[in-house]
């Protein structure tokens, strides 16, 4: 039972893993035996996390990747193959949201950037990874979406559109790749205590509203997302594909009175 969720001898790429949810996934994957590639635009920050993992007797490497650039995404996958000879797990976690406001007012450039960084980059990473994953007996692709992809969201409409598109990408890739024993799933976090969501959970009024409305009466932490990522990458999750796991304290199922 101790090896039930083992990731021993697995190689995993996690984008946006120098902080927040990606960092938690990278650290927990390494604790379970995976060799992880920590990646983000900030190489120094990636090296700090990789060194933290290595100092804890884990295996990790760092690689600078700007997900807005196709070549950079391709080079990230090439690095994993050159370093470890294979790829078992891809976690598409990096995303951006440079615009806050109504969809009716969003500049084309901002919309294009959101869709490029949050959707197209995931497709680029998958396209580069799939040929290598087909060589494995089992492989996993995990895309970090959001509860914004399950709902309409005021002032975050473009972000919501991109995260909804990610769910469509997950489902279609799952259908395409099932015959190769490659599972494709998503994670839909709610408000998690990360730097990305700091503006929300550091605002006392917003935080109180979330805590009052959520059935669990709190926001989440990064390990609570990493736990689902472990399930989807390990043998116990091998029969799950084309699905999204929502971790939001129950917000999306709580009806407003």
Tell me, what CATH number does 111's domain have? 3.40.50.720
Q: Is residue 107 a part of any domain in this protein?
A: yes
- Phi, psi (5° rounding) for residue 40? -170, -175
Respond yes or no: is residue 84 known to be catalytic: no
Instruction: Assign 209 a pLDDT band (cuts: 50, 70, 90).
Output: confident
pLDDT score at 40: 97
Q: Is residue 20 a part of any domain in this protein?
A: yes
- Please tell me whether residue 139 adopts helix, strand or coil conformation: strand
Tell me the mean pLDDT in the region 150-177. 96
Instruction: Assign 203 a pLDDT band (cuts: 50, 70, 90).
Output: confident
Statement: residue 113 has pLDDT above 90:
yes
pLDDT score at 211: 83
- Is residue 208 within 8 A of residue 166, CB to CB? The reply is no
Structural domain that includes position 34: 11-253
Of 29, 84, 99, 159, catalytic: 159
Q: Is residue 2 a part of any domain in this protein?
A: no
Q: Is residue 5 a part of any domain in this protein?
A: no
Instruction: Assign 256 a pLDDT band (cuts: 50, 70, 90).
Output: low
Taking all residues of the chain, what is their mean pLDDT, rounded to a whole number? 94
Domain count, the chain: 1
Q: Is residue 3 a part of any domain in this protein?
A: no
Q: Is residue 206 a part of any domain in this protein?
A: yes
In angstroms, rounded to a whole number, what is the distance separating the alpha carbons of residues 142 and 138? 13
DSSP code of residue 18: S
DSSP code of residue 220: B
Q: Is residue 172 a part of any domain in this protein?
A: yes
Q: Is residue 29 a part of any domain in this protein?
A: yes
What's the pLDDT tens digit per position in 85-105? 999 999 999 999 999 899 999
Residue 78: C-alpha distances to residues 4, 28, 53, 58 (Å): 30, 23, 22, 21
């Amino acid at each position: 039972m101790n090896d039930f969720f083992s990731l021993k001898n697995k190689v995993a790429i996690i984008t946006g893993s120098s902080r927040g949810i990606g960092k938690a996934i990278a650290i927990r994957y390494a604790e379970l035996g995976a060799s992880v590639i920590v990646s983000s635009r900030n190489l120094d920050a990636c090296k700090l996390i990789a060194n933290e993992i290595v100092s804890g007797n884990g295996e990790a490497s760092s690689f600078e990747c700007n997900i807005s650039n196709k070549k950079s995404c391709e080079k990230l996958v090439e690095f994993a193959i050159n370093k470890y000879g294979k790829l078992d797990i891809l976690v598409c976690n990096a995303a951006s949201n440079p615009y806050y406001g109504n969809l009716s007012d969003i500049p084309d450039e901002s919309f294009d950037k959101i869709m490029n960084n949050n959707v197209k980059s995931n497709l680029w990473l998958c396209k580069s990874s799939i040929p290598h994953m087909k060589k494995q007996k089992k492989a996993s692709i995990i895309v970090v979406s959001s509860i914004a992809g399950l709902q309409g969201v005021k002032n975050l409409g473009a972000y919501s559109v991109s995260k909804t598109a990610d769910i469509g990408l997950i489902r279609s890739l799952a259908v395409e790749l099932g015959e190769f024993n490659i599972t494709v799933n998503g994670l839909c976090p709610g408000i998690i205590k990360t730097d990305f969501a700091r503006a929300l959970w550091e605002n006392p009024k917003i935080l109180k509203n979330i805590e009052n409305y959520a059935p669990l009466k709190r926001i989440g932490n990064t390990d609570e997302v990493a736990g689902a990522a472990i399930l989807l990458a390990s043998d116990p999750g091998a029969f799950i594909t084309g699905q999204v796991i929502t971790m939001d304290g129950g917000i999306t199922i709580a009806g407003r009175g």
